[in-house]
Structure 1
Amino acid sequence: MSSRRVLIANRGEIALRIVRACHHLGLEAVAAHSDADASARWVELADDAVRLGGSPAAKSYLDVDAVLRAADESGADAVHPGYGFLAENADFARRVREAGLVFIGPSPEVIERMGDKAAARRTAQEAGVPVVPGSAALTDPSQAADAAAEVGFPLLVKAAAGGGGRGIRPVSDAAELAGVLSTAQAEAGAAFGDGTVYLERLVPRARHVEVQVLADQQGNVVHAFERDCSVQRRRQKLIEEAPAPGLAPETRRAMTEAAARLAEHVGYLGAGTVEFLLGPDGEFFFIEMNTRIQVEHPITECVTGVDLVTEQLRVAAGEPLSARQEEIELRGAAIELRINAEDPEQDFRPSPGDLVAFDPPGGPGVRVETGFAAGDRISPFYDSMIAKLICWAPTRSEAIARARQALTELRVDGVPSTTSLHAELLDDAEFVAGEVHTSWLENR
């Protein structure tokens, strides 16, 4: 990166996280922002700022032409997409490269290959990674009945181009299939511009465990162990932990090795996450790969000491990974709570508004990542997350206790938030015992 100037094509806490990583490496950070975010904290802390467009994401953070213009106007020579928005858009990555800029992430071809969920399944199988029994891509409803009979019920209809827990519908038996398939295809077409779906067996009481991988241009591939993201509502994560509680050492070894093997097989570059379903019997299955930094990356940083965002920047500049696999060790336990502007009493209804008061907690082992301060507005145009509360301690029980204490110090006024729900969940006996699964919260 000749001019050492990075355009950040994102907002909120991840934009601020990237600003800090750039400054740590002596790089200049340029904040590309919408009208709603013109005076945001991450914009003020960046070295330069460029307006993208109007407040709706379609007119700003999702506008490829606007992002490329911002990079050109600011003199940036690299683009960091963060997560969400254009982060897993292969066409965007391709256009960044065609403009002579460095895309801080994997190649467009890898994003394309792993972004298509059906293609990703085939790729995992090629790499010898176990996958959940499922079907090929379906565009014709007449194919579905035979495919479902082979996969078995209960099952999930999943959008091939989906992500972030969206585009997924459960089916309990053959009588429901046709109706759910039609609805799922319509939703997938509207959300992703692609109505292709596939079927996947539903694994009852499964945990969601994901493995962090890193790869450089020299061909080195490592993993930074796993995270458990099983506490979800509507397949959106609320609490994440590292390492996964109660995971047998042989399962951890097999899962992390499988993730690294898949990354090597596809020629991965940068930071990525391989997601698995883990059954009660210890059997695990690949479900997808996220070709970007994850929201929950801080807990991995806490337990391994690896600065994942800095690694992304270094790898994009052609430098090798800073640590070999044998140098990455687990240390203690970390938990992340997503503090969202949502009302748990109203089915998690998003609740934008003015953040009248916001006092983050502190103390040893407590880390808060946010793009907001008291007096800021939580916009209705974007994700409802206010902050991530991350707590580390030598043991899981101590990390939970530290998180409980941190919640008592956290003050969020002006908008409803998930703070009280987190306090309740941290006291739940099943959560404390590590006996949760992906439908635990909804069943509870």
Structure 2
Amino acid sequence: MIDSVLVANRGEIACRIVRTCRELGIRTVAVHSDADAHALHTRVADAAVRLPGTAPADTYLRGDLIVRAALAAGADAVHPGYGFLSENAGFARAVLDAGLKWIGPPPEAIEAMASKTRAKKLMGLEPLATVTADDLPVLVKAAAGGGGRGMRVVRDLADLDAELAAARAEALGAFGDDEVFVEPYVEGGRHVEVQVLADTHGTVWTLGTRDCTLQRRHQKVIEEAPAPGLAPELTDSLCAMAVRAARAVDYVGAGTVEFLVADGRAQFLEMNTRLQVEHPVTEEVFGVDLVALQIRIAEGAALDHEPPRARGHAIEARLYAEDPARGWAPQTGTLHRLAVPGVRLDTGYADGDTIGVHYDPMLAKAVVHAPTRAEAVRRLAGALERAEIHGPVTNRDLLVRSLRHEDFTAARMDTGFYDRHLAGLTGPAPDPYAPLAAALADAHGRSRFGGWRNLPSQEQVKRYLVAGEEREVRYRHIREGLAADGVRVVHADADLVVLEVDGVRRKFAMARYGDQVYAGTTALTALPRFREPIADHAPGSLLAPMPGTVVRVAEGLAVGSSVRAGEPLFWLEAMKMEHKITAPAAGTLTALPVAPGQQVELGTLLAVVESDQP
């Protein structure tokens, strides 16, 4: 029996594993980088061990330090979670060699499947050895990859070499392995996967299908189980292939076999030899705890001969601290409030935690289960719409609109969904009365000491920034309290404002954190009474769109270089993703104040390009 588990991971998945261990009466040990010293996963575990440094290569990817931490803390087993070292056969062997239990598949199975190239050969498939114009588009993919890292779609043969180099560099930094391969990129397909679970006694379960088609940057955004609209024969075929893959490597534990489905046919993509981020939808449909089953299998327990029966439909949305309208730019800062009513919320954050620049920007996974898909979609969209999310910009509005989009509700989605619909899903839609509510809530505290006078009241003016636009509102102090033209103020205090507009009452729950104001679900920034001077930058200045690290500068780029409009100049890494910074216009580089390895803050000057145009 396992008595103590070290969780070799961080954030949401570490908290998820700790929760199950606590229910089973198992003690837990967390590991943390310096950036995660006060993270939630370190607070909920029974013990925590520091991994000095902040970069993944120095901390969560250091298997030797993690094994040492497990032994020092008295753990007798290691759970790798997902990402980092979860598909690293060498780490699994090191855990076992240290006399610890490994809550995962045998190292040999990881080795066979963790390399996407070897996995494809095992399933009778071969990557492209050479690429011609007739093969386009193609997908460059990291052999040891996952989570969208080290992946590039190439549509022009002239871009292939550059994208191969970029994928290798990203894969090396993320996984310590720069092997990449090229395969055909199927447009208009769906990403469907099968959950497998195998014990040491020869039983292999398949726990239905999941659809993970809605993705950005090859990372999943919305997932559901079962995959809607699949013919029963295709579902049976997918499950049979998944069992074949598991048995081919004598698999043990939880794993996922992924496919691309197009025109009623399935193409094997890979087998992930670990738990998946989206595992909760399978848990909800089958009524199981996959982490608990992983632990019991590691203890030698046998699965029942047949898996439990599926019931209903489950859907999960990943809530990210990012701005979809600005190239999915990750966001940082204090998460003041996170509350999503009526859902299962798997998260690695609590109110007041800081979202930093070092790791994935996912805040939480919101999961619902209902008798039908339509009911599950409606419940999740409604819960997200009412959620209190106070802090950096998130993709919440995108999720709500995606769930309500006619192509999604009709299950007509494919992997190009966001390529086609992003503009329509990200337009700002703030409540038009939110600025007035914010002004009235602020004025409530100021009106207690004689705000009203027995004279005509002068209008008070407040300015707010809402969805990038400045809004000005006016109100007055009157005998009854506060008033505004065209609106009846039913109630106004610092926590709640109720306005009546054309006979309809509108309620705004209020919150304020410095200059940041929340009126219902609308975020506003209170502007100062007098405008402050704006810092001047030379024309053609390139400013960092997010805090991060300059990981690469274009080869040969130097002051005096000629650049083309749209030409890549820098690559910033922030929250596990690389972001390409391009020249705003054709011209000459006249300033280059940054270098690879340099940390930059939001708004840092990266370069100046003097345009060729007069």
Which residue does the alignment assign to 2:368?
A: 391
CA, structure 1 residues 186+6, in 2 after alignment: closer, same or farther (shift >3 Å)? closer
Which residue does the alignment assign to 1:347?
A: 327
Q: How many residues align?
A: 421
For residue 380 of structure 1, report the CA deviation from its aligned partner.
Answer: 1.4
AA of the residue aligned to 1:351: Q
Which residue does the alignment assign to 1:98?
A: 97
User: In structure 1, the residue corresponding to 2:123 is in which secondary structure?
Assistant: helix
**Unaligned 5+ runs, structure 1:** 126-130, 137-143
Are 2:220 and 1:237 equivalent residues in the alignment?
A: yes
CA, structure 1 residues 21+191, in 2 after alignment: closer, same or farther (shift >3 Å)? closer
Are 2:356 and 1:379 equivalent residues in the alignment?
A: yes
Which residue does the alignment assign to 1:319?
A: 301
Deviations 1:390-430 (A, max 9, x none): 01110000001101221123111111111111111111110
TM-score, normalization by structure 2: 0.66
Deviations 1:89-148 (A, max 9, x none): 1111111111111111111121111111110001122xxxxx5x6335xxxxxxx24xx4
Are 2:314 and 1:331 equivalent residues in the alignment?
A: no
CA, structure 1 residues 191+36, in 2 after alignment: closer, same or farther (shift >3 Å)? closer
How far, CA to CA, are the matches of 1:298 and 1:191 in structure 2? 25
Are 2:128 and 1:135 equivalent residues in the alignment?
A: yes
2:273 to 287, 291, 298: 291
AA of the residue aligned to 2:366: L
Which residue does the alignment assign to 2:563?
A: none
Report which stretch shifted further, 163-172 or 108-117.
163-172
AA of the residue aligned to 1:269: V
Are 2:61 and 1:62 equivalent residues in the alignment?
A: yes
For residue 71 of structure 1, report the CA deviation from its aligned partner.
Answer: 0.4
Which residue does the alignment assign to 2:518?
A: none
- Greater helix fraction, Structure 1 or Structure 2: 1
For residue 361 of structure 1, report the CA deviation from its aligned partner.
Answer: 1.4
CA, structure 1 residues 190+375, in 2 after alignment: closer, same or farther (shift >3 Å)? closer
How far, CA to CA, are the matches of 1:190 and 1:29 in structure 2? 29
How far, CA to CA, are the matches of 1:50 and 1:187 in structure 2? 28
Which residue does the alignment assign to 1:361?
A: 341
User: In structure 2, the residue corresponding to 1:157 is in which secondary structure?
Assistant: strand
Are 2:26 and 1:27 equivalent residues in the alignment?
A: yes
Deviations 1:350-372 (A, max 9, x none): 1021011222312xxx2111121
Which residue does the alignment assign to 1:108?
A: 107
Q: RMSD in angstroms over aligned alpha carbons?
A: 1.9
Aligned residue runs from structure 1 range 6-405, under 5 A: 6-125=5-124, 131=125, 134-135=127-128, 144-145=130-131, 148=132, 152-172=135-155, 174=157, 176-189=159-172, 191-279=174-262, 281-321=263-303, 323-325=304-306, 327-362=307-342, 366-405=343-382
How far, CA to CA, are the matches of 1:345 and 1:173 in structure 2? 26
TM-score, normalization by structure 1: 0.90
How far, CA to CA, are the matches of 2:90 and 2:12 in structure 1? 25
Which residue does the alignment assign to 1:408?
A: 385
- Greater strand fraction, Structure 1 or Structure 2: 2
> Which of these two proteins has the greater Rg computed from alpha carbons?
2
How far, CA to CA, are the matches of 1:180 and 1:53 in structure 2? 33
Report which stretch shifted further, 57-66 or 73-82.
57-66
User: In structure 1, the residue corresponding to 2:81 is in which secondary structure?
Assistant: coil
How far, CA to CA, are the matches of 1:222 and 1:427 in structure 2? 33
How far, CA to CA, are the matches of 1:308 and 1:437 in structure 2? 28
Q: Which runs of 4+ in 1 moved over 6 A?
A: none
The answer to whether the Cα contact below 8 Å between 1:372 and 1:386 also exists between their aligned partners in 2 is yes
For residue 178 of structure 1, report the CA deviation from its aligned partner.
Answer: 4.6
The answer to whether the Cα contact below 8 Å between 1:53 and 1:66 also exists between their aligned partners in 2 is no
The answer to whether the Cα contact below 8 Å between 2:385 and 2:397 also exists between their aligned partners in 1 is no
